[in-house]
Structure 1
Amino acid sequence: MSQAITDDSRPQQRFTSLYTDLSHTVRDLGLLRRRQGYYWTQIGFVVAALAGIVTGFVLLGNSWFQLLMAGALALVLVQVAFLSHDSAHRQIFDSAAWNEWTARILAGGLAGMSIHWWRGKHNKHHNAPNQLGKDPDIAIGVIAFTPDHVARRTGLVKWLGDRQGWLFFPLLTLEGLSLHVAGLQHGFRRGASKVERVEAGVIVSRLGLYVAALFLVLPPGKAAAFLGLQLAVFGVFLGASFAPNHKGMPLVPATMKLDFLRRQVLMSRNIRGGVVVDFLMGGLNYQVEHHLFPSMPRPHLRHVQPIVREYCAKHNVKYTEVGLGESYKIVIDYLNNVGLRARDPFQCPLTAAYRTR
């Protein structure tokens, strides 16, 4: 099947100009211009919030009310992660160097994560969303995303895999810890560059000072509870912002070639919900538009959405948008049934069009 699709390149050639035309329209409307005032306000907000949390932490002292501070810190760090994501995509400044250093400071200095590790992984995802063998977000791991991954499992691991949809959100409580560990492993791996090792040193310093402060102000039990709750809330909210965007959408065979517009639109899902969802998901709820225009400033995504949706309808490209609750239901259902309902994971509108030929 994949070979037959790959060999017929005429549809791909026919669709090549679609993205170019859309891109010109968007650029002419000024929607790719930077919004530095917006981003400086956002950065000021998170810095002020972090300062307020540190002040509250010191004033509260030895109290179980510190767990409220832990939850608040986690939510603010999620916003820091969103800003580092935007900066890594060069959405904030015209200068590549300013974006680079802003991403480093936000991710490494404030959130304790490696922007170099994350960006390398994330760029591969953007280049080939949901494509087998190319998108690291669907590579084999704790969660199985394809029937082939499920088939390799036996015993207790298979039993857990059959119920992985229900386990997905509990597992997200470990995502914060996983991000810290993965970043440090990347920075201290053999062959790491000097810049990556310096970044790893900054992350170690940030995490070390944070843990030391907890145990200086709080007794061991409360300090551990603060750390555990902060990491869990951070992991759940951050993971819950990324998970609905591609999980349960069509998978692409490793050898299949797609034009850029269809590659990004058909494999992405938007989440509707207004300004509250915009804030909680850091603009990632406009996933289709973000994948089409990765460097577009976050506040412009909602303005370009009706243009993209209308353009897709005009050219018969399926545009997917659901509510937040429905998106989580889709993710859970897909993961629980990946061995059954994803038996042929290559079902998508473009594949069907090729088959009809």
Structure 2
Amino acid sequence: MTTATVVDGSAAAARLSGAPHTSSYSALSRTVREAGLLRRAYGYYLWTGGLLVLALGAAASGFVLLGDSWLQLLVAGALGLILTQFAFLAHEAAHRQVFATGPVNDRVGRVVANVVVGISYSWWMSKHTRHHANPNHVGKDPDVANDTIVFTEEGAREHRGLLALITRYQGWLFFPLLTLEGLNLHLTSVRSLLHGTDADRGARVRELVTIGLRLVLARAVVFWWLPFGMASAFLGVQLAVFGVYMGASFAPNHKGMPMVPEGSRLDFLSKQVLTSRNIRGGAWTSALMGGLNHQVEHHLFPSMPRPHLARARLLVREHCAANGLPYTETGLVRSYAIVVGYLNRVGLAARDPFDCPLRQSMRGY
């Protein structure tokens, strides 16, 4: 089988302006459906969910048995990993991958996200749905909107003061900043529910109360059981591991791939394939990243259960090769290097225009 594989997305970038507005996606979709890859995988999710519940119970038992011991930081790290895995399940339920009907997926996803993880399911649904509709599309994809990290040179030029300083070195600072992402997810969830404008105010209130109780009670237990300093360290480690794991799982998928200029139009197949990157690896990589390593297939078929994505990859790669569409996949470590390099290149736009790079390089001589 021949494949069109690129590492850094540069070949895909050349196609953004000229990609056709009609595609062969319907033919690919028919092939995937006939292969049975859109069928539910109840057994897989039953085992996965069961193992995660056992892991959470083991972490809770370790927390109680260790008592006043700095070994609790190991439990905190493990808890950060376990909660991220639960977040992957909530993500899959939001995409209708777990159960056959939307309402059941939503109920389970809301419980997992709100009660277990402590983030807003409705906020995530709204944000992530917009991302899937227009990945890497400037002005439409909320994941590339200006924030502490920026993804366009125009965005980098808008930053001033401390933000501009961070932006200049944002590639190198990316992973350190992810240690704060867990805290940011909790705060953003609460803020979105407090200031949301959706019609179902009652649902927002219920979600806000649930998340509030989850966050307050969990912290109350930690501070009641452990000395103040140790409890603070426990929560810091747990949030840091959660944030880094979440960010390190989602970042390789689109960061450093071509950006779609505002106002551009692309057909569905081109839009999803050209802006997405797969991560090579087998079943362990898929388990580690919650199936996000098969990002191309996930974007083409969002409701496809995780265990079917590997087989779909073979079909999608063959289809892309036959249609001359670049298909990007790389190793996990290489993907991080691409992300860091891309963010640093974008960050150069925040440099003082009168700060000559040659002058900077000559300092010290």
TM-score, length of structure 1 as denominator length:
0.90
- Structure 2: unaligned runs, 5 residues or longer: 1-14, 350-365
From 293, 303, 308, give the equivalent of 2:301.
293
Confirm whether residue 271 of structure 1 aligns to residue 271 of structure 2: no
1:154 is displaced (CA, Å) by 3.3
TM-superposition CA deviations, 1:122-167 (whole Å, max 9, x none): 0000000000100000000101110101111234432321110000
Bigger relative CO (Cα 8 Å, ≥ 6 apart): 2
CA distance in 1 between counterparts of 2:196 and 2:239 reads 28
Q: Is the 8 A contact 1:132 1:251 kept in 2?
A: yes
TM-superposition CA deviations, 1:175-194 (whole Å, max 9, x none): 10011011111112254521
Confirm whether residue 164 of structure 1 aligns to residue 144 of structure 2: no
1:25 is displaced (CA, Å) by 0.6
- Structure 1: unaligned runs, 5 residues or longer: 342-357
CA distance in 2 between counterparts of 1:196 and 1:263 reads 33
Where does 1:41-56 land on structure 2 (aligned, <5 Å)?
41-56=47-62
From 318, 322, 330, give the equivalent of 1:322.
330
Confirm whether residue 219 of structure 1 aligns to residue 227 of structure 2: yes
From 182, 205, 209, give the equivalent of 1:176.
182
CA distance in 1 between counterparts of 2:18 and 2:286 reads 40
Q: Is the 8 A contact 1:6 1:255 kept in 2?
A: no
From 101, 108, 124, give the equivalent of 2:107.
101
1:276 is displaced (CA, Å) by 2.2
From 37, 42, 45, give the equivalent of 1:39.
45
Q: Is the 8 A contact 2:170 2:347 kept in 1?
A: no
CA distance in 2 between counterparts of 1:184 and 1:159 reads 29
From 202, 210, 216, give the equivalent of 1:202.
210
Q: Which residue of 2 aligns with 1:121?
A: 127
TM-superposition CA deviations, 1:275-298 (whole Å, max 9, x none): 222111110000000000000000
CA distance in 2 between counterparts of 1:26 and 1:190 reads 38
Q: Is the 8 A contact 1:290 1:296 kept in 2?
A: yes
Q: Which residue of 1 aligns with 2:68?
A: 62
1:339 is displaced (CA, Å) by 5.0
TM-score, length of structure 2 as denominator length:
0.88
Q: Which residue of 2 aligns with 1:351?
A: none
From 226, 240, 246, give the equivalent of 1:232.
240
Q: Which residue of 2 aligns with 1:255?
A: 263
From 87, 91, 115, give the equivalent of 1:85.
91
The change in CA–CA distance for 1:338 and 1:175 in structure 2 (over 3 A counts) is same
1:40 is displaced (CA, Å) by 1.1
Aligned AA (1:326): R
CA distance in 1 between counterparts of 2:274 and 2:39 reads 26
1:69 is displaced (CA, Å) by 0.5
The change in CA–CA distance for 1:223 and 1:254 in structure 2 (over 3 A counts) is same
**SS of equivalent residue, structure 1 residue 79:** helix
TM-superposition CA deviations, 1:261-311 (whole Å, max 9, x none): 000000000001222221111100000000000000000000110110010
**SS of equivalent residue, structure 1 residue 129:** coil
Confirm whether residue 338 of structure 1 aligns to residue 338 of structure 2: no
Aligned AA (1:295): S
Q: Is the 8 A contact 2:114 2:120 kept in 1?
A: yes
1:340 is displaced (CA, Å) by 5.7
Q: Which residue of 2 aligns with 1:355?
A: none
The alignment-based identity, stated in percent, is 53
**SS of equivalent residue, structure 1 residue 338:** helix
**SS of equivalent residue, structure 2 residue 149:** coil
CA distance in 1 between counterparts of 2:293 and 2:286 reads 7
Q: Is the 8 A contact 1:107 1:113 kept in 2?
A: yes
Q: Is the 8 A contact 1:269 1:321 kept in 2?
A: yes
**SS of equivalent residue, structure 1 residue 320:** strand
Aligned AA (2:262): A
Q: Is the 8 A contact 2:167 2:347 kept in 1?
A: no
1:6 is displaced (CA, Å) by 11
Aligned AA (2:42): Q
CA distance in 1 between counterparts of 2:41 and 2:108 reads 15
1:51 is displaced (CA, Å) by 1.0
What is the number of residues matched between the two proteins?
A: 334
Aligned AA (1:320): T
Aligned AA (2:190): L
CA distance in 2 between counterparts of 1:252 and 1:269 reads 15
Q: Is the 8 A contact 2:25 2:268 kept in 1?
A: yes
